[in-house]
Amino acid sequence: MSNILFRIKQISDNENVNITSLETKIGASKGVLSRALKNNTDIVSKWITKIVENFPKYNTQWLLTGEGFMLKDVDTDSFTNEEKVKLLEAQMALMQENRLLLKENSELKIENLKLQTENTELKKVHSDNASKQTA
């Protein structure tokens, strides 16, 4: 998932809405964001602009780069302990999800390498068989 898509998902989670509701809020067709999230593909800048316009409390720099706070003008001293706990729990959940995705990514890389090796071996066998048939 691209980083911007990941942060868009964070916005939907923070707003307690699903991606379909977020699509409706920004005027996107159903599936514009959900397909991009599912397929890990890019979205056009128009939708990022619409998110910025419709969710002004979110830091644009954070949305685009991941730098800074998620929310504009965050004063962590003004958070209640309950809010701080909720934020920490959300951060821990995201970190756990990230660990799982990294593990899955590593496993998929290994599987991909095995399949590439198998493909190379099959091509060699096919080539050898083709050579024997023409001889």
Could you read off the pLDDT of 37-83 as tens digits, one per residue?
Answer: 888 888 889 999 999 999 989 999 899 888 888 888 766 677 788 88
Q: What is the pTM of this model?
A: 0.54
pLDDT at 1: 44
pLDDT at 75: 67
Shared-domain flag, residues 65 and 91 = no
What 93-101 contacts at long range (C-beta under 8 Å, 24+ apart), as own/partner pairs, is 94/10, 101/1
Shared-domain flag, residues 93 and 63 = no
pLDDT at 134: 78
- Cα(91)–Cα(76) distance, integer angstroms: 15
- Cα(91)–Cα(13) distance, integer angstroms: 12
Question: For residue 70, what are the domain limits?
Answer: 1-74
Domain boundary among 24, 55, 74: 74
Of 72, 79, 70, whose CA–CA distance to 57 is shortest?
72
Q: Which amino acid is at 54?
A: N
pLDDT at 9: 93
